Amino acid sequence: MTQASICTIGDEILIGQIVDTNSSHISRALNSTGIKVTRMVSIGDDHDTIVNSLEAELQDNEIVIVTGGLGPTKDDITKNALAHLSGTETYRTDDTQLQIIHDILSSRGLALLDINIAQASVPDTCEVIPNRLGTAPVMVFRFHEDRFGHPATLYSLPGVPFEALGAIPDVISDIKAHFKVSDIHHRTIMTYGIAESALSKMIESWEDNLPADMHLAYLPNPLTGVRLRLSIYGGIKEEEEARIEEQLKLLKPVLGDSMYSDHEDTLEGCIGSILKQHGKTLSAAESCTGGMISALFTSVPGCSEYYLGSVTSYANSVKENVLGVPEEIIARHGAVSSECVAAMAEGVRKITGSDYSVATSGIAGPGRGTDEKPVGLVWVGVSSEKGTETFSFRFRHDRKRNIERFAASALNTLRIKLVNELTR
């Protein structure tokens, strides 16, 4: 299997000011092309470090993908290191990229500065893949097999995530044209509400009976639940996919309601699909989740077909005056109560005219809350013409994580109501 390494350059990553998201996008693209990613490395903006590290990666891998170190205010450290590594000191200007730089700046009403023009200058040893989304071009350095004992290619991509992402399809095409790639077949099963260790116990006998060439990975995530990834390297696409499908058929009854997708869909995506399919509409009333549930619903393209809107009733006055929650409910039971989320869910359904609604009220923190209503407690209400139900969940995290988990458990509660009322 062709092997690749991904290398990010930039002091900003080493000092922890920036989280590297590029490597994960790039490795996903490489993996689905059947290229094995063996390492990811982050190094600083230093000439010798860059040269030595990239040489080591090229020694071990046929493909090395570099991102970063190319911003307009960066020194030319990365470019000089790449020039040195490829045995040149001479630069040329890439006219296509220069035109793009010119177009981008003028469309933004900005003047063309010297530091912008300099971005179109590249070592004369490289080929250029133009970057239409930004100013720094993709540089491709091909090394003869005499150099590292095998043919090797280094791709240098801009560090801006949006631009790096945009360059991936062109890089993958180039890789397919120059390297032997084998296929990888996989399916990801999404589950929610069962901890990793309990899940592994639950599916133990199914897992033990998997064919030897099928690999199962557990990918826990507090917001999407544990994902189960089943994969096979090589083989014929149709045959291997049919074999995976066969295993899924055995797994589904074991997982029951805790499985929500066998195609990497999100909870909000599933909710949208069911609503669209049945022509129903949705609204939300949020307190502790503060708008996050609504933001998740609207992250799905095409959500305007079923999503009407929401009220974030952070203050009790908004719960009463906008959502119509009776004052005595809050006075008697408090805002974090079964009664209050039920009234919120019914209230938002009434004022928006939606078929379904979900409501949350909880204590995100910081602090400890009270014995009866501790930090981490959330009440979730779900409502439709068939009735309103409420549930409570308890988490033990900080404010940010509690809010995220409140939102995820509200989405899962709503999903189960939709599945029960619309699909059975």
**Residue with Cβ nearer a second copy (142 or 350):** 350
> CB 76 → a second copy: shortest distance, Å?
14
At 14, phi and psi to the nearest 5? -65, -30
Residue 210 is classified by DSSP as S
Task: Pick from 130, 193, 235, 290 the residue near a second copy by CB under 8 A.
Answer: 290
Residue matched to tokens 């989280």: 19
**Residue with Cβ nearer a second copy (310 or 413):** 310
Task: Pick from 225, 272, 365, 381 the residue near a second copy by CB under 8 A.
Answer: 365
Q: How many whole angstroms separate alpha carbon 175 and alpha carbon 26?
A: 13
Q: How many whole angstroms separate alpha carbon 192 and alpha carbon 268?
A: 13
Element (H, E) at 5: strand 3-9
Q: How many whole angstroms separate alpha carbon 219 and alpha carbon 196?
A: 8
Beta bridge partners of 369: 374
> CB 90 → a second copy: shortest distance, Å?
25
Q: Which of 289, 296, 311, 310 has its CA nearest to residue 400?
A: 289
Task: Pick from 178, 298, 326, 334 the residue near a second copy by CB under 8 A.
Answer: 298
Counting contacts by CB under 8 A, is residue 291 touching a second copy? yes
**Residue with Cβ nearer a second copy (58 or 125):** 58
Q: Which of residues 88-147 bind a second copy (CB under 8 A)?
A: 108, 110, 113, 115-116
Q: Which of residues 4-63 bind a second copy (CB under 8 A)?
A: 11-21, 23-31, 37-44, 49, 53
Q: Mention every residue, 6+ apart, whose C-beta is less than 8 A from residue 422.
A: 274, 277, 278, 280
Task: Pick from 129, 160, 275, 342 the residue near a second copy by CB under 8 A.
Answer: 160
Task: Pick from 318, 320, 333, 389 the residue near a second copy by CB under 8 A.
Answer: 318
Give burial (CB, 10 Å; 0-12/13-18/19+) of 157. Answer: buried
Q: Which of 133, 127, 138 has its CA nearest to residue 170?
A: 138
Task: Pick from 193, 369, 399, 419 the residue near a second copy by CB under 8 A.
Answer: 399
Question: Which range binds a second copy by CB under 8 A, 65-73, 86-94, 121-129, 167-175?
Answer: 65-73
> CB 401 → a second copy: shortest distance, Å?
6
How many residues bind to a second copy according to rule CB under 8 A?
95
> CB 208 → a second copy: shortest distance, Å?
13
Task: Pick from 172, 210, 295, 422 the residue near a second copy by CB under 8 A.
Answer: 295
Task: Pick from 209, 331, 366, 372 the residue near a second copy by CB under 8 A.
Answer: 366
**Residue with Cβ nearer a second copy (115 or 242):** 115
Q: Which of residues 218-277 bind a second copy (CB under 8 A)?
A: 218-222, 227, 229
Other beta carbons less than 10 A from residue 204's beta carbon: 11
Question: Which range binds a second copy by CB under 8 A, 92-100, 168-176, 312-320, 325-333?
Answer: 312-320
Q: Which of residues 325-354 bind a second copy (CB under 8 A)?
A: 351-353
CB 408 within 8 A of CB 224: yes
Task: Pick from 1, 47, 72, 278 the residue near a second copy by CB under 8 A.
Answer: 72
Q: Which of residues 170-229 bind a second copy (CB under 8 A)?
A: 195-198, 200-201, 217-222, 227, 229
Query: Helices 77-85 and 47-60 meet at what angle, rounded to 10?
Result: 50
At 273, phi and psi to the nearest 5? -60, -45
CB 153 within 8 A of CB 178: yes
At 297, phi and psi to the nearest 5? -60, -45
